[in-house]
Amino acid sequence: MKKLKTLILLIVFVGLITSAVLVGRSQSAAAFGVGSSSQSFAAISTPSSEEGVNQKELLSKEIQDLFLAKEQELLKPGWLHIVYRTSLRKDVDRGFLTDGVPFPNEYIIEDWYLLDKESYVIKAVTFMRDLDENILQKSVFFDGTWMNTTLNDNMVTGAFKPLIDGGYMTMVLASDTALEKNYPSDINSNQDLTVYEIRAASPDGSSEIFATRLYFDSSGNFVKAVSVLVYKDGTEVVDSETEFLLTENVNDPSDAVMEYLDEVKK
């Protein structure tokens, strides 16, 4: 009995320490969101913590509404076609994708999803190409399984609906991130863009802040996502940039998709 009581005390102690550490971590992460805009962006407000929470709710809702409008337009029976170009930071060793083929710093991804009436994916194809249009990776999805035929990699994922938001809405809604809205004056474009910035403190306690910026044009189209490291002195390093080139829902996929599906007999 004495041992049992000691064990309980020990567990309570560990639980309290754990909670204290975790609460501390989430508070410090939230604190980075207050009034810390970067050099090239003008934040529209610098709210207090409480206002920050309300602002985050409002901004989250704004972003959610933008993505919901796109979902209603695009998630319907047919082939959902998404094309985007990604540039990764160049001063990083990326190793090789396959024997003799280095992992690219810049690439274009083309996703094709055949959707049913409930917007679930029946089959899908993903091509990764370099900028010279050479195919680097080919993947196909059917019967709840993804198969990368370039790398001979399989993965059972089960049924899913494609994320029009590219997986960024999860980041927007995460409790340990801050959210800001900015209007950049010039981002290599004459269009009026709105930028929502998701910010979080560095996980290792170093001076960086991790920020992901979501760019929307005046029609509400999600046009770009940029991940940056923001240092204490305000300098920034772009870790990656993804530009959305095309998002549409069409009746038929490209010839390349048909040929690939024939090749894998799906």
In the window 38-77, what residues touch another protein (CB under 8 A)? none
Which of the ranges 44-52, 65-73, 153-161, 250-258 carries the binding residues for another protein, by CB under 8 A? 153-161
Q: Is 15 in the site for another protein (CB under 8 A)?
A: yes
Q: Judging by beta carbons within 10 Å of its beta carbon (0-12, 13-18, 19+), is residue 95 exposed, middle or buried? A: exposed
Integer Cα distance of 222 and 216 in angstroms:
5
Q: Is 245 in the site for another protein (CB under 8 A)?
A: no
Query: In the bound complex, what is the minimum distance in angstroms from residue 5's beta carbon to another protein?
Result: 8
Integer Cα distance of 172 and 67 in angstroms:
12
Q: Is 223 in the site for another protein (CB under 8 A)?
A: no
Q: Is 174 in the site for another protein (CB under 8 A)?
A: yes
Query: In the bound complex, what is the minimum distance in angstroms from residue 255's beta carbon to another protein?
Result: 21
- Residues with Cβ within 8 Å of 224's Cβ and at least 6 positions away in sequence, in order, are 187, 213, 214, 215, 241, 242, 243, 244
Q: What is the DSSP string of 175-211?
A: TT-EEEEE--S-SSSSS--EEEEEEEE-TTSSS-EEE
Residue of the chain from 40, 134, 154, 219 that contacts another protein (CB under 8 A): 154
Q: Is 207 in the site for another protein (CB under 8 A)?
A: no
Element (H, E) at 137: strand 135-142
Which of the ranges 33-41, 58-66, 173-181, 255-263 carries the binding residues for another protein, by CB under 8 A? 173-181
Q: What is the layout of strands, in order, in the sheet containing 236-250?
A: 153-156, 145-148, 135-142, 121-129, 106-115, 78-88, 236-250, 222-230, 209-216, 194-201, 178-182
Q: 49-58 — which CB contacts under 8 Å span 24+ positions?
A: 52/178, 55/179, 56/178, 56/179
Which of the ranges 2-10, 50-58, 59-67, 250-258 carries the binding residues for another protein, by CB under 8 A? 2-10
Integer Cα distance of 72 and 145 in angstroms:
26
Residue of the chain from 160, 183, 189, 234 that contacts another protein (CB under 8 A): 160
Query: In the bound complex, what is the minimum distance in angstroms from residue 11's beta carbon to another protein?
Result: 5
Residue of the chain from 59, 108, 128, 179 that contacts another protein (CB under 8 A): 128
Q: Is 119 in the site for another protein (CB under 8 A)?
A: no
Summarize as ranges the residues that interact with another protein (CB under 8 A).
Answer: 4, 7-8, 11-12, 14-15, 18-19, 22, 25-26, 82, 84, 86, 88, 92-97, 103, 109, 111, 113, 124, 126, 128, 137, 139, 141, 146-148, 151, 153-155, 157, 160, 162-164, 166-168, 170-171, 174, 176-177, 198, 200, 202-204, 210-212, 225, 227, 229, 239-240, 242
